[in-house]
Structure 1
Amino acid sequence: MYLAVAAGGFRRYATYRMATAAGVFTNTVFGVILVYTYLALWDERPHLGGYDQSQAVTYVWLGQCLYATLAIQGGGAEKDLMERIRTGEIAVDLYRPVDLQLWWLAGDMGRALFQMLGRGVIPFLFGALFFPMALPTGVTPWAGFVVALLLAAVVSFAIRYLAALSVFWLMDGMGVNQALMITGIFFSGMVLPLNAFPGPFGEIVRALPWAAQLQMPADVLMGETSPLTAFAFQAAWAVALLAAARMAQSAATRRVVVQGG
């Protein structure tokens, strides 16, 4: 059942060919801009955040690869869920003989897989072809990266799903979407690696769940952290956020007021 839902999510996003092509172009252009920005910054601050220049470049292209995959700025399953809650169509979902959270998780995993293959791989390969990148040659780091990426996708979904459930009380998701966009871009490390933030503030942002999205997979791939430590961090946040979402869902659906009908 849930595999079919995931496959449906994959097929749905595969139909948006022009949007995918535009996304590939946009991520490639932004990647080039960020690479030269990072190179200038690393010229002034060598080994900033513990990275050398090739690692900084690798981080940029991983970010462009995972930007849509992990819906770092939003735009995944939560957008549809918010709209269904707002219009009252969520009542149909609640009558389905399936687990609501797993249903939306499966669909978002299908979306993430397509965005990875359809939009993320090409900019990453472009970066590897034209810029020096610190990519491992062994199988083990890549296997660890795949596991970290899967856990990152679950954490990303959990953050967005929990935020989407707030529409049961707020009745509108516009402000929530804006908050997701701002927090996702900054706290995931899309602007600057979280390792580069100094002092107590750096320790705080590296302990937040957004660090599980980009920073952890990047560090696992480049050998900057122990894979088991990264997996434990990501899994802990995934379990905590999914459990919190489960409780919020239970509270919201205990007495549902259907909007729009």
Structure 2
Amino acid sequence: MPPNPLRNPYWRFLVAGFRGQSAYPLATFAGLVANATFGLLKGGIMGAAVDSSGGELAGYSAATMAAFVWLGQGMLGSVNFWGGSALQDRIRTGDVAVDFLRPVSVQAAHVLTDVGKGLFALLPRGLPSVVIGVLVSHMALPGDPATLALGLVSLLLGIAVSHATVYLVSVAGLWLVETRGVAVLYMAVSGFFAGLYTPVYLYPDWLLAITLATPFPAMMQLPVDVLSGRVTGWAAGQHLTVQLGWLVAVLVAGHLATRAGRRRLEVQGG
């Protein structure tokens, strides 16, 4: 009899993250309120910028700019821009030693659990944010099922890249012990380069080149481009390829960092 994939431990980590996040309905609702509030403010500012530029700004029309705003707000609960994770606390307290004794990958366990949390946030927080955007603006939407399908794949890749990168921030604790400073730096840099505040295409050429050389646009800017239908066909395929490349890169970096950090891990106390 073939093994049941639903009993695979890594699948269970993903499900555990999904279910665990569902235990905080009030926090999720508060996040939705924050998303809607800042979405309205951000939409007004970015819409005014498009209008003042004659109806187009760096290739964005009023509809595509509204899609940028509201799709981005919908992703905020799923993409980790604050740099924190449960692994940081486990490294600081020494509990990570128990994780290393288990017959599963520490990296896969933590990344999949966090991805599961992000996937849950799409339902009570992400989708309602997009619905609000549709109701209050004329935001661009995918024009056909194929574009929507590519957009959803891009969204999943963006979530995965985000949490795989935050794992790198967390595993730095094997050297630093206290990683709050690194997390704050990550929070300051990631949102700016990911397109959290404005589309990265508004940056000067030199800054845009630096931005595109980082994994951060793969977390938000590229998924929003594909989901909104701003890029289609071959261009959308290129976006997904870039995202997949960054996912592989950060996972490999996380694996190597875990192996190196495990060799020097010291846990004191009893």
Deviations 1:169-220 (A, max 9, x none): 1111210221121112211111100111121211221231001011111111
The aligned counterpart of 1:93 is 99
- State the AA in 2 paired with 1:191: Y
The aligned counterpart of 2:87 is 81
Matches of 1:148 and 1:259, distance apart in 2 = 43
Matches of 2:130 and 2:82, distance apart in 1 = 19
Q: Please show how residues 50-129 of structure 1 align to structure 2 within 5 Å.
A: 50-75=59-84, 79-129=85-135
- Indicate how the Cα distance of structure 1 residues 61 and 35 shifts in structure 2: closer, same or farther if over 3 A, else same: same
Matches of 2:58 and 2:258, distance apart in 1 = 39
What is the Cα-based RMSD across aligned positions, in Å?
1.3
Matched, 1:31 2:45: no
| Greater Cα shift, 225-234 or 28-37 | 225-234
- State the AA in 2 paired with 1:217: P
The aligned counterpart of 2:3 is none
The aligned counterpart of 2:146 is 140
Matches of 1:198 and 1:24, distance apart in 2 = 32
Contact 1:85 1:167 in 2 (8 A): yes
Contact 1:148 1:220 in 2 (8 A): yes
Contact 2:140 2:229 in 1 (8 A): no
| Greater Cα shift, 81-90 or 5-14 | 5-14
| Greater Cα shift, 79-88 or 202-211 | 202-211
Instruction: Please give the secondary structure, in 1, of the residue aligned with 2:77.
Output: helix
Matched, 1:5 2:13: yes
- Indicate how the Cα distance of structure 1 residues 259 and 198 shifts in structure 2: closer, same or farther if over 3 A, else same: farther
Q: Which of 180, 189, 197 is 1:183 aligned to?
A: 189
Shift of 1:259: 5.0
Count of residues in Structure 1 that have an aligned counterpart in Structure 2: 258
Q: Please show how residues 139-158 of structure 1 align to structure 2 within 5 Å.
A: 139-158=145-164
Matched, 1:236 2:236: no
- Indicate how the Cα distance of structure 1 residues 259 and 53 shifts in structure 2: closer, same or farther if over 3 A, else same: farther
Shift of 1:136: 1.9
| Greater Cα shift, 220-229 or 118-127 | 220-229
Contact 1:195 1:206 in 2 (8 A): no
Matches of 1:221 and 1:206, distance apart in 2 = 19
| Greater Cα shift, 66-75 or 84-93 | 66-75
Matches of 1:3 and 1:245, distance apart in 2 = 20
Matches of 2:190 and 2:82, distance apart in 1 = 5
Matched, 1:253 2:259: no
Structure 1, unpaired ranges of 5+: none
Instruction: Please give the secondary structure, in 2, of the residue aligned with 1:200.
Output: helix
TM-score (norm 2): 0.92
Shift of 1:74: 3.3
The aligned counterpart of 1:222 is 228
Structure 2, unpaired ranges of 5+: 1-8
Deviations 1:215-244 (A, max 9, x none): 111111233331210111111111111111
Contact 1:194 1:202 in 2 (8 A): yes
Contact 2:97 2:267 in 1 (8 A): yes
- Indicate how the Cα distance of structure 1 residues 259 and 113 shifts in structure 2: closer, same or farther if over 3 A, else same: farther
Matched, 1:207 2:216: no
The aligned counterpart of 1:192 is 198
Matches of 2:58 and 2:213, distance apart in 1 = 16
